[in-house]
A = this chain, B = another copy of it.
Amino acid sequence: MDDMTPITEIAPFRNLSDAGRALLAQVQVSVHMRSPQALIHKGQAASGAYFVLAGRLRVYALAPNGNEATLYFIGPGETCVFALNSLFNDLRYPAWVQAVEDTRLATIPGPVYRRLFAVEPEVRDLTVRTLSTLVFRLMAELEEVHAYKLNQRLANAILVHGSGEGLLRMTQQQLADHLGTTREVIARLIGELVDAGLIESRRACIRIADAAGLARLIAGEAAA
């Protein structure tokens, strides 16, 4: 997918009717964002539907005391639902959004998206599926917060976000923000995991040494 790929070549928009295509052609805007750049601030009105072409967005809550906590991520091919929300409900976006990788977005103004939604079955399905998926992620997250302790959630985050080779390139501060806690706590817990031989820790990088052990920890069987 090169830089100039129009949104009409992307999966869910590939089979639009001519009318739909025409609509989109007039309005497509492509936006680039460098990595730790803020996109949306809480309370801001959504100006349209955002569609992630490449990269990754992070949606997070910001507590009064400055603590962050990741709500969910948006990957390539996914729509940024706040748009959909705000589109259909006229509500303000209830969180912050940030690009965690260099990200390319297509934006579709609200009225156009509404029209597309009314006319194109593909867009309807995409919309509903995106919202549903998000509901699932949020429910899972919420359950996790209540049901698991921080060390389990950390272990989980390491497993989930680790690359194929068992590497996780995040600083402890980023992990802390992700889990809604503080750096020191993460340091402590990472210390424990290292002592237990489950991971190794380098600067800005964690190596998974014993994935099964992490999984066992998450499952709650005998924390070493």
| Residue positions of A touching B, CB distance < 8 A | 61, 63-65, 67, 69, 71, 81, 84-85, 88-89, 91, 94-95, 117-118, 121, 124-125, 127-129, 131-136, 138-143, 145-147, 180, 220
Given A88-B132, A131-B128, do A61 and B146 touch, yes or no (CB 8 Å)?
A: yes
Contact: B138 with A142, CB < 8 Å? yes
Given A64-B220, A91-B136, A94-B140, 8 other A-B contacts at CB below 8 A? A69-B142, A84-B132, A85-B135, A85-B136, A91-B132, A94-B143, A117-B124, A138-B139
**25 pairs, A vs B, C-beta closer than 8 Å:** A61-B146, A63-B146, A63-B147, A67-B146, A69-B143, A71-B139, A81-B132, A84-B128, A84-B132, A85-B132, A85-B136, A88-B125, A89-B129, A89-B132, A94-B139, A95-B139, A95-B143, A117-B124, A117-B128, A124-B124, A131-B131, A138-B138, A138-B139, A142-B142, A145-B146
